[in-house]
Structures are given as structure tokens and as C-alpha cells.
Structure 1
Amino acid sequence: MGNNYIIRAGKIVTVSSLGTIYDGAMIVKDGKIAEVGNWNTLRKKFPYLTVTDYSHYVITPSLVDCHTHLLEFAPSSLYPTALATHLLTGKSILLHALRSGITALGEQICGHPNSDFSITDYRHAVKDLPLDISFATTSISIGFSELVHFTAVTKSREVRQADLSDPRLVKEIARQNDYPGENLFINATPANFTTDDVPRAGEIIYTLEELESIVKIYHQYGKQIGVHVAGEEAIEMTLEAGVDVLHHAHGITNEQIKKANLKGTKIVATPMGGTHLEPNSPENILKLVENKIDVSIATDAYLPPYSNTDWLSFKGQSLQGPDVYMEIAHPGMKLLQENGFDENEILALLTANPASILRKGDQFGKLQQGMDANFVVTSGIPGLEITDVENLKVVYFRGDRVVDRLKG
């Protein structure tokens, strides 16, 4: 097909100011989108370009999951890996995400007792994959009977709770950080353990003064900071301290939503779980969007689904991954549609908004001139009209076809 070509679609949902284009086309040159518009117009303008005809399908930006744990925690949680095969297994899991229509990821590197890899090791492991991966270097507190704490910088070595606020350690974590992921765990996390294993999940780890000092360090480095947080008291602390991105924000109150709006705080919603509290319901996501909060939806995979939710179709404690991204987003996206939101605004929760969280909103997440040609060919709008990955027929990354369910 060459580096330059024209793609035709029955419908293009651009998630940009162009909105939805019926009988649309895109010009792709050297992995970038050169033009987007009407098929007849662009065909006349570029009669010499090779055509790939998807006129019976919908084209949208490919998906962006800005909160995952696929490289560090998932391999040994899913498979009987050894140290020598850990990163290979992680790469296979990342390719599973690609087959699920995800071409950009926000990976959390927290430190792991059985994986003594540095952030450099992780970056090197993924450099040749057809994925755009941003890394959040973090510290983590796990809610076992005796809390345990790790950091991306200290790798497999456990640290004391007091160390989490040590300016020297915080500065090094901030220096290596790509984007505002869950850089701090304000609450001890249940991670992907059962409730009995983590009785102290939810316990608040930091004081307001400690948090304010840490936020100041990140901002001095010219970086935004994100946190894992749930519960009214902990969320209030993060808003007071000037945290830029709240991951989860389970249990946020109406007053706190208004405060987040005034402060320009962004929220990464995780409808599948991730904290000790009930996750983001469709109604919660609607309320956040109605209050003009910049909302992204993420999987936090691999996770066991939170029990007792009426919006998740799967039950039990089996770990769920990138292939359920559209499924967990669907109830919230449908509720937004029922309340009058446009399909471009809704799809932004899986594309443009998380791309912005990754600090790459000018690179991908929309289909417009100058952006990377990262897109999917589908039988419907991901998350809104389709939830099964088999309906993601073709995936493109920087202009290259990297997944093809139509071939043959």
C-alpha cells in the first residue's frame, strides 16, 4: 500500500471539531493524517493515491487506556512466569491490548517484590512494539494486615511509610515520570487481592502537609501529578493540595465535583474497580461530565471486577484485562447518549481525553490533520455501539495495519 494512501469509510467519527463525517475519507502520508473530509472531494483531489475501501464500516480513533498494570503486576498474576520470562510475558499482554483496539497505554510502574526491573528495563522492553506507551513512575502502599510499600525507583526493595515522603526519593520518582498516572497511593490499595487479603485497603497514607510538599516537588519539575484516591476525606485532601489528576475518585461528593471543576482537576474513572470503594457508576460518570470535568475511562487492568455492581455483565473474581475496555465503558457511554451528548463527545472518554492525560493530546486520540494515523475500522462506535473486540475489524498504528480480522 505504500506510505501514502486514501482510506474510505461509510462513517468517520473524528472526535474533533470535524465531528462525524458520512461517506468520509482520510489521506494518510508517512504515518500521519494529512486530510480528513468527504470521499468524493478527497478522491478528486488525490486521484493517484491507492484506495483502501472500508465503505461498509465505521472508522474512529483507536483506543487509549491511560491506566494499566500490564507489564509489572499482570505477568506473574496471570501466568507462572519466572524472572527470565517476565518481560516477554508482559509484551505478549501488551499485544493482547493492541488486538483489543488499544494503541496507546499509560503503564504504572510501582515497584514489585518479585520483579527487580528498573524503569529503563521496561522502556527498553517495549521500544519495538507497535504501541505508544507512557510510563508513570509511582510509589505504592498495599493494604495487607501490615502495610507494605514499594516504589518504582527502589524496585523490589520494600521501603518504610516515612520514606514515601522523603524529598530525595520523591524527586527521583518525579524526574523519571512521563505523565500524571497514580504517582501516589493516597489510600492503601487492595490491588488485585481478595478482600480477606487486604483488610487495611483504603487506609489513608499521607497527611495533607506531606501531600502538599510532594505536589510542590512535581510542579517544580514542571510535571503534573496524579494519585490513586477514594473516599471523601482522601479526595478532599487531594483537592486542597492541588493534585492535577485523580485516578478512581470513587466516593467523590457533589460538592467535591464542583470544586474539581473550579480547579480544573481531571478524573480517570475506573468502572471495574481499583479501590476499596464502589467504582465509578454510569450515573457518576454522567455527573462528572455534566459538571464539565475532563473524564477519561480506564481499565486499571488486570483487575478482579468489584462485586455487587449492577452495570458490569461479568461477575466473580477472575482478573479482567484490556479486552473488556469497551464493555466496562459501555453503560456510562450509553447513559451519556441518553442524556443528549454527541457521539464524538462520548467517544472522547476512550480516546482524546486519555490521550490528554498522557500529555499526548496533540499526537493522537482524534482524527484530524497532523495527528498520528492511529485508528480502528469497526462495525460500530467502540464502547457505545460495540463491546466485543471481534467487531474491531482492523487496527492501524501510525499508518500501518497492525491487526486485521478482515484478511482472507
Structure 2
Amino acid sequence: MDIYMVRAKKIVTVSNAGTIKDGAMLIENEKIVEIGTWEILRKQYSSIQVIDYTNYVITPSLVDCHTHLLEFAPTSLYPVTPQTHFIAGKAILFHALSSGITALGEQICGHPLCDFRVEDYRKAIHGIPLNVSFATTSISIGFENIAHFSSITQSVAVHKKDLIDPFLVKQIAKESDYPGENIFINATPANFTINEVPKAGEIIYSIEEMKEIVDIYHQLGKKIGVHVAGKEGIKMALAAGVDVLHHAHGITDELIERASILGIQIVATPMGGTHLTPNSPMEILRFVNQNISVSISTDAYLPPYPEVSWLPFKDQSLKGPDQLMLIAYPSMQLLKENNYDENAILALLTNNPATILGKENQFGRLEKGLDANFLVAEGIPGLEITEPEKIKRVYYQGKMVIDRT
């Protein structure tokens, strides 16, 4: 169908229109053409075919702006070879799509087992109904001898001095689509156990080195995001002028206030991702209270941080994008208890991460002129439902790509 209308019990637009009860949306050629009440739109477009979803809620589809689904996940989950790596990767992407996610922010860090170019990852997503933005990065892994890799040097390990070489930094920056984990201020534990990464958390850069790297990105007209945790690292990131903090575990109230003043965006990862305790619901509430644009992301595939009270996980098996609603649920509930509107709450999984990706004028809200990326579900994702099975249909650019009805 090139043109059709959908009707729902309510449409949570995550736009200035708010929630529209007994709402309708006109879709034509992949875009939202009109959105409003059923009473008004049915009169204006009486001859248009209608798909009746009056037992369901329609919302924007989800955006997970910090993932490792194509580079690290295949080798972590499956016995792949270079010949089968992207077959597994496509299955993983489909799993994300079936969980209501139609846009991803994917990190390409450099991996000792994956000698692929950035172009290989871009080619791998062709034909998949997902919008994928790639952040090209360097990475430092907290082994006893800290290991450094980059998206440009692929499977070849590099030295710390290479990470600050202006030529390599420029190459990484030029390839990057958005401010993901472009550099790791702290060495990461990655997917390894504590015993394997004793130097996880160690700070890699000086403030002078950080400022030089940030300047290179900004001179190229690029925003820069950083993997960071702990007071010292976060303080350094803010002083260096970065644009996006990924994780920001261990942030203090003073640094939250400073980030707000500077207009910094934060990608919160309640499941883990650094050497410190991940973002709690109360911490995410503090971000929102300070008017920080915060996104919740999985950092998948990831072993959950052990013994965190707000997560239901009983083991450290790797968790994927199907957990996005579940890990967001405690924070979204706390925001509701603090009288935030459901549209503002859902923005943490839709419009805010779309903005991180630089795609806020393309998707993340249900608004005239934007892509028709939306969900038909039993409730509001992350706020009222947490199971992907309760998402009955997923639409991407106006086409139904997942059907559980």
C-alpha cells in the first residue's frame, strides 16, 4: 500500500502534539502525511483504506544509539568465521528489529578477530529495514597490558601514541557518522571478567591530549562522544569540550550540573559497560531534572553488571537489544512517579537517541513529514510493557516488517 491510514486507541507522538486519544495517522510513500484525531481525519480522507488498531497503542519505534551488534556480538555469540560473520550479524540485527528497534548507533572499534573495514560493515546492512549509523572509534581494553585498537587499523593492535596521532584521529573522525564512543577515556572491561581486565577504568589520556583530539573533530565539523566513567574522567571530558558522554557512570551532582550548563548529551547504560556501577533510575531522574537530553541504551551485547538492584538479571550471560525496554523500565517508572508526561518519558528511547544520531528530523517522533517508523503495541514500550512479544507490529518507512498479530 502506498497510501493508508492507521487508527489506534491512542497515539503517543513524542512531539508537541502529545498523546492523541482515538488517534489516526495517514501514511503515504514512507512518510507521515497527517496525524490527528480519528474524528477529524476520517472526514478528510474518507476514501483511504484504514487499518484498525483500536485495541492497541501506536508509538514511534525504538532507537538504540549505543550497540556492538555487528563487530563484537557475532564472535561473542556464535562460532563464526570471517565467511559467516555477517550472516550472524544480520540475524542479530533482525533480533533488534523484532524487538521494536528500527534505528541503531553501532560502534566500530577494531577487533583482533575481525579484520573488516568500515565499508564492510556499511555493506553488510544493505537491504535490512533498519537505519544504522556507525561511530568509528578507537578502543582501549583493560588487560594487564592494555590493548589498543581502532576502526581504521582493524585487527592490528596499536600503541597509545598512535591513538593521539593527528593523522589517525582525523581518519577515524572523517569516517564517523555520529558521536558514539569515538574514544575511550577509561580502559574498558569490554565483555571480559574482572580477573581478565585488572586495568579496566584506568585513564588513557591527559587533558592536553583530549583537547587536541576534540579540536580535530570540531575542526572537521564533527561532534565527538566518549566512553567515560568516574569523577576524574568525566571532569576531563567536560573540560576538553566533548559533546556526548556515553555511560558517565559515577558522575557527581556537581558534574551533572556542569554537563547541563554545557549542553552535554548523555547516553545512559543501566545494564553496564564500564568498570563502575551503571546508571541507576535515580541518576537518570537527576539527569532529566537538570534538563539534560538523556538516552537509554543497551550497549549490547553486554554482560549485566553483577548484583544491581534495579535489574532483574540473575547471571552475567550476554544480553541483547531485546532487553532495551526492560532495562529502561525502572527509570521510566520513576520519571512517571515524578509527574513527567509519557511523551517526555518515551523520548528517552525514541527522540533523544535519534537526536544523538543526528536523525531527529527523520525519525524518533510521530510528526508530519517524518519517516513512518512506528510500533503497534499493547502498551507504551518501556513504560507499560517490557516484553518484545507485546509489540504486535513494527513499521519501517511505512512498511510492516514485523507481524505478531
With structure 2 as the length reference, what TM-score do the two structures score? 1.00
- Give 1:314 shift: 1.1
- Write the deviation string for residues 175-223 of structure 1: whole angstroms up to 9, x where unpaired: 0000000000000000011111111000000000000000000000101
Taking only aligned residues, the RMSD between alpha carbons, in angstroms, comes to 0.4
Q: Give the match's secondary structure for 2:65.
A: strand
In structure 2, what is the equivalent of residue 354 of structure 1? 353
- Write the deviation string for residues 1-42 of structure 1: whole angstroms up to 9, x where unpaired: x11100000000000000000000000010000011000210
Q: Give the match's secondary structure for 1:227.
A: strand
- Give 1:238 shift: 0.3
CA distance in 2 between partners of 1:220 and 1:162 (Å): 21
In structure 1, what is the equivalent of residue 225 of structure 2? 226
CA distance in 2 between partners of 1:315 and 1:255 (Å): 33
Moved more, 22-31 or 307-316: 307-316
- Write the deviation string for residues 260-302 of structure 1: whole angstroms up to 9, x where unpaired: 0110000000000000000000000000100111100000000
- Give 1:315 shift: 2.0
CA distance in 1 between partners of 2:345 and 2:121 (Å): 32
CA distance in 2 between partners of 1:59 and 1:21 (Å): 10
Question: Is the 1:330–1:387 contact (alpha carbons within 8 Å) kept by the matching residues of 2?
Answer: yes
Identity of aligned residues (%): 64
CA distance in 2 between partners of 1:315 and 1:358 (Å): 32
Q: Give the match's secondary structure for 2:23.
A: strand
In structure 2, what is the equivalent of residue 146 of structure 1? 145
In structure 2, what is the equivalent of residue 102 of structure 1? 101
Whether 1:247 and 2:246 are equivalent positions in the alignment is yes
Whether 1:10 and 2:9 are equivalent positions in the alignment is yes
| Partner AA of 2:378 in structure 1 | S
- Give 1:122 shift: 0.4
| Partner AA of 1:248 in structure 2 | H
- Write the deviation string for residues 345-389 of structure 1: whole angstroms up to 9, x where unpaired: 000000000000000001000000000000000000000000000
In structure 2, what is the equivalent of residue 315 of structure 1? 314
Q: Give the match's secondary structure for 1:84.
A: coil
CA distance in 2 between partners of 1:204 and 1:362 (Å): 36
- Write the deviation string for residues 118-167 of structure 1: whole angstroms up to 9, x where unpaired: 11000011021000000000000000111000000000000001100000
In structure 1, what is the equivalent of residue 53 of structure 2? 54
- Give 1:88 shift: 1.1
In structure 1, what is the equivalent of residue 364 of structure 2? 365
Gap runs ≥5 in structure 1: none
| Counterpart mapping for 1:370-385 below 5 A | 370-385=369-384
| Counterpart mapping for 1:2-401 below 5 A | 2-401=1-400
Q: Give the match's secondary structure for 1:53.
A: strand
Q: Give the match's secondary structure for 1:256.
A: helix
| Partner AA of 1:204 in structure 2 | I
| Partner AA of 2:307 in structure 1 | N
- Write the deviation string for residues 246-266 of structure 1: whole angstroms up to 9, x where unpaired: 000000000101100110000
Q: Give the match's secondary structure for 2:83.
A: helix
Question: Is the 1:305–1:315 contact (alpha carbons within 8 Å) kept by the matching residues of 2?
Answer: no
CA distance in 2 between partners of 1:195 and 1:15 (Å): 40
| Partner AA of 1:195 in structure 2 | I
CA distance in 2 between partners of 1:66 and 1:400 (Å): 22
- Give 1:308 shift: 1.8
CA distance in 2 between partners of 1:214 and 1:285 (Å): 28
CA distance in 1 between partners of 2:163 and 2:62 (Å): 33
Q: Give the match's secondary structure for 1:37.
A: strand
CA distance in 1 between partners of 2:196 and 2:48 (Å): 59
Q: Give the match's secondary structure for 1:52.
A: strand
Question: Is the 1:33–1:372 contact (alpha carbons within 8 Å) kept by the matching residues of 2?
Answer: yes
CA distance in 2 between partners of 1:384 and 1:30 (Å): 31
Question: Is the 1:299–1:325 contact (alpha carbons within 8 Å) kept by the matching residues of 2?
Answer: yes
| Partner AA of 1:239 in structure 2 | L
| Partner AA of 2:132 in structure 1 | I
Q: Give the match's secondary structure for 1:83.
A: coil
CA distance in 1 between partners of 2:155 and 2:48 (Å): 53
Question: What is the number of equivalent residue pairs in this alignment?
Answer: 405
- Write the deviation string for residues 305-346 of structure 1: whole angstroms up to 9, x where unpaired: 001210001121100001110000000000000001000000
CA distance in 2 between partners of 1:366 and 1:85 (Å): 36
Q: Give the match's secondary structure for 2:6.
A: strand
| Partner AA of 1:32 in structure 2 | K
Question: Is the 1:116–1:156 contact (alpha carbons within 8 Å) kept by the matching residues of 2?
Answer: yes
CA distance in 1 between partners of 2:48 and 2:120 (Å): 41
